[in-house]
Structure formats: C-alpha cells, structure tokens
Structure 1
Amino acid sequence: MKLRRLLPLVLLSAAAFAGCSKDESSNSKLEVRLMDGPGDFQRVVLDVQKLEVHLKEENDPEGWKLLPFQAQTINVLEYVNGRSALLVSTDFEPGDLKEIRLLLGPDSYVVGRDGQRYDLKTPSGQTSGVKLKLDKASLQARQTFQLLLDFDVAKSVVERGNWRPGNDKKERYLLKPVIRVVAQDLRASLRGTVTPVAALPQVLAIRSSITVPDTFSTSADAAGAFQLSGLPAGTYRVELFPTTTAPTGQPAYRNIVRSNVSIVNNQTTDLGQIQLN
C-alpha cells in the first residue's frame, strides 16, 4: 500500500523535473556590460540603482522586466582600452528586446583635474530612467547575447555655462547620459600600441564608409596600449592626439592619422606599434 501511494508522487515529480529541464535547456543567457569613452576627469562615478529591459511594443507599460543587478556606484573611467564592467549575467527566455533602461540614484559625481568632487545632477535619470532603444536585439535559444553600453564621458558630463569658481560645487556639472548600445553581433575590435607611452594619446576611430560617419574613442593606457571593441564592420580613419608635450630636448609629439583601416566583423585589427615623435 505504501508503494502504491508513493509511486504516483514519484512519477509526478519526475515529470515536473523533466518539464523544468526542457524549459531551462532552451533559455538564452543575457549579459550587460559597461565601457567608457575618455573624459577630462580623474573619476566619473555613476550611481546605478536598477537595470530593466523592455520586451513588448513601445509605450506598453507592462513590457518592462527588472534584471538581477546589484545597485552600485561605478567609476566608468576604469573601463577603457577594451575593459568592461559586467553588470548582469543571467538566464533569459529567447525573444526580442526593445529597450534597456538605467535608473540612476542621487550619488553620481565627478572628480575634476583639480582634485575636487562635483556632484552630478541627473533629474531625468532619477525619475523615468535613461532609456536606450535597441535595434535588432533578438535572443536565440541556447545562445549568449551581450549588450555593451558604451558611455561617452566627454558628451555626457556638461558644465553649466554660468558657473564660476567659488560657486556651489554641486551646481557645476549636469549629467546628460550619451550611451551607445552595441549588440552581440558587433564583435570587431581595433588595437595597437604607441611610443613614447608618455604621450598618452586619445584615439579616435572614425567610420568613413557611411554617409554620416560614426566616431568611437578611447585613450592609450600607461603601457601605451589601446583597444576599441564592439565596432561595426567598415572602413575607418584612425586619429591619435597626444595629450602631453615632450620633455625639453626630445622630439615633439605628433598627431598621427591612419586612413583606410579595414575593420572586419568577428576579427581584431592590429595597427601594431605607432611612433608619435
């Protein structure tokens, strides 16, 4: 009698387990990463509270899904030269993603070259969030899909025109986020090294093979290396601009331009070593 009563429960449990395994086996994995374009600050810290994606048609309030993200402050200047911060990595049902939204808290700030902290006012980010539309972002079954949020510091941190030294430091800068979203299928990269490393150049990669050129930027690190990731395929002009001057008695640092650089999807184009003097 005991065996007869237990057998249906065993069969039911096995069926439930099999059904669960089948569903999970068709899941995708969604990753969200953050990287940065350079800006003239010592630190740029974002207070990111929540991340959400929209799964339905525009203006459908029921389409938002909260991602498993741990609220944190992120110094985006740590993520240049091909480095990125992993914000989310989670199992996700296959389907289309329409938008991603960042909700920012009140504790975003910058530290300027003068070493002073300046709060960033982000009224829109604190209320409705920073919404970014996604183009052709479709998760396929049993695949990993990555959204790379390319934060442009130089365009996002805006100084008030009427601010003067001695004014309230909290009123100097506004945060108006300019973020490019790169989907997983854009996996081309560009890299190289510069000498002398003390030149610390900014690097621009300008996609010239389209009507309205795209510009992507980064900076060389302390070892002279630079890398841009998530580039669309095409023909580029690469420009390097030293941000320092050569010591007395040494040849001056020069701006360098490389034209007709071919970027191929899923490949890394290496410019090798570039001499700046």
Structure 2
Amino acid sequence: MHYLKNGTLKSLMVATFIALGLTSCSDDDSSEAAMGGNANVTVRLTDAPGDYDEVNIDVQDVQVMVEADAETEVEGDADAEGWVSLEDVQTGVYDLLELTGGISQILADSEVPAGYASQIRLVLGTENTVVVNGESKPLNTPSAQQSGLKLQLNKELEEGENYAFLLDFDVEESIVATGNGSYNLKPVIRLSAEADAGMVVGSVIVPETIETNVQSLVKITDGSITISAYTDASGNFALNGVPAGTYDLEVVPEVASGLTVFAVSDVEVKPNETTDVGELEL
C-alpha cells in the first residue's frame, strides 16, 4: 500500500496524462464493436478539492461490467455477476487533494473483452479518512466497501482500441458532516469517457497587491454541460473530458479575496486536443 505524496511523481503524471489524453482513436466507422478480442482500458483518478487538509481514499479494486464473447480471455478476474477486476490495479491510499490542477493518478491499465461496457465500479477499503484542522477523522463508507461505487459507462469497446476513462472526484460534494463530529463519504464522481473529448488548461493570475494564495473555481458551460475544477497552489487548472464544442468560461475567486468573477466567451474545444486559454488575470 502506498501514499501519494511525491511532487516528482505528480509532475510525471501530468506529462503522462497529457500525452495519453482522453481519447478512443479509431478510423473504423462501424457502429458494432468487434467481438472475440480485447480492448485496452486505462482508468485515472482526479479531483476538485474541498475545504479540508487531506481527503484520503483507500482504493482496493477497479472493475468493469462488459458483455462479451464467453471465449475471450480476460486480464483480470470475472465474478458470477460479470464484473471484471482489471489487472494490476494500483491499490493504495490516495490523498485526493494532491490531484488538482491537472494532476491525475493512474489506477489501472488493462485488457478487457471487446463489447458493450455498461458500468465501472470503484471498490474502496477501510482506510478512508479526512483531516480537518490537523485532526484525522474516519470517513464512513459502508456502501463503497460492500459493493463498490457504480458509475454508468454505456459504451461500446472495440477490439484493439485504447480507451481512457477519468474518474473526477468532487470532494466538496462528496463529504458530509453528520453534526456529531463524524463524516460520511457519499461520493459524487463525474465519469469522463468521451471519444472526442478535449481538455482546457490555463492559469489564473491574481494582482501583485494580494500577498496570500487565492484558490479559484474555474468552470465552463455550454448551457447543458458544466465542467469545473479548482486552481492549484500556482494558479494552474485543467478541465478534463470536455466534449467538443464552444463554451463560456468563468473564474470564480474565493470570496475572502475580494476579487470579482472573470469571464471569457466562445472558448472552442476541438476533438482530442488541448485548448490553452493562457493566463487569465483577475
């Protein structure tokens, strides 16, 4: 079991993530998935942070529900219900608050049978904690430990293709204070699996007169889709798994800074490309 606390590792993960992208590259226009072979699935974890010192999640397994040819060999174990445990899952305790500003953690890179994938399931262990004002408290996660966190996928996986899925964990919405000093984990996770998805990156610059760090919420919307992320300590941000289209972008600085909302219109996101909006000065 390992803990994600290494700055060099974070830099490597950023470079790897940008290189891989969130794409499924194929020149085959057929609507039917090829049966009898395997597809490669990569699963990564990232986060939109909340107001905590640490949020530690104990990842024990990543599984996929795939309807496939019974004779297909699978790199992983399939249970009686058809769930396939991906091979070589990177189990361990991860601090989600280290996964911001475009950082992501690879959880699995494995072969699964080609076919229709209906769900992904993230199984957690018992070592889930939240650190508040320097004090570590357990995160109660009964449903996640028993049956896993099920996320709707509903995607055809074609033989020989590579698919990258991003689990975007919204910490602020996922941790619930019970009122008696304890905390429950009710995960809110956005699953990004767009074949033509792009990425929006940039950095938020605060006035030099403000000497403290300012964390901002960056969000884009086209009226029906809204995707958001917080800036890291250096003001950098990355919005992952953005479907191709034109969006409005807003930067919402924390209220205590006294800064106003910054807006940009007509941000174009192209399939399988990274859109860099540059430095946004508040």
- Are 1:223 and 2:234 an aligned pair? yes
What whole-Å deviation, never above 9, does each CA across 1:165-218 have from its counterpart, x for those lacking one?
Answer: xxxx5xx211001111111514311111222285533233232243xxx33222
In the TM superposition, residue 121 of structure 1 has moved relative to its aligned partner by: 0.3
Match for 1:206: what amino acid? I
Q: 1:91 to 1:56 in 2, by over 3 A?
A: closer
Question: Given the alignment, which residue of 111, 115, 122 partners 2:134?
Answer: 115
Deviation (angstroms), 1:244: 7.1
Q: Does 1:124 align with 2:138?
A: no
Higher relative contact order (CA 8 A, sep 6+): 2
- Retained in 1: the 8 A contact 2:167–2:190? yes
Aligned-residue sequence identity (percent) comes to 37
Equivalent residues of 1:203, 1:238 under 8 A apart: no
- Runs of 5+ unmatched residues, structure 2: 1-35, 69-78
TM-score (norm 1): 0.76
TM-score by structure 2 length?
A: 0.75
Of 59, 71, 76, the match for 2:91: 71
Q: Who is 1:256 aligned against? A: 262
- Work out whether residues 145 and 184 of structure 1, in 8 Å CA contact, stay in contact via their aligned partners in 2: no
1:134 is aligned to 153
CA RMSD of aligned residues (A): 2.4
Query: Displacement of 1:105 after TM fit?
Result: 1.4
- Deviating above 6 A after TM superposition, structure 1's stretches of 4 or more consecutive aligned residues are none
How many residue pairs get matched?
232
* Partner Cα distance (2:61, 2:106) in 1: 14
Match of 1:62, SS state, is coil
- C-alpha separation in 2, matches of 1:63 and 1:121: 27
1:157 match: 175
1:61 deviates by 4.9
Unaligned runs of 5+ in 1: 1-24, 164-168, 247-251
Structure exhibiting the larger radius of gyration computed from Cα positions: 1
Change (3 A) 1:207 1:253: closer
Matched-pair contact (CA < 8 Å) for 2:48–2:171? yes
Q: Could you list the per-position Cα deviations for residues 233-266 of structure 1 after superposition, in whole angstroms to 9, with x for gaps in the alignment?
A: 23322221223756xxxxx533212233222222
**Any idea what SS the aligned residue of 2:143 has?**
helix
Is the contact between residue 188 and residue 232 of structure 1 (CA under 8 Å) also seen in structure 2? yes
Mapped partners of 2:116, 2:223: distance in 1: 29
Q: 1:92 to 1:33 in 2, by over 3 A?
A: same
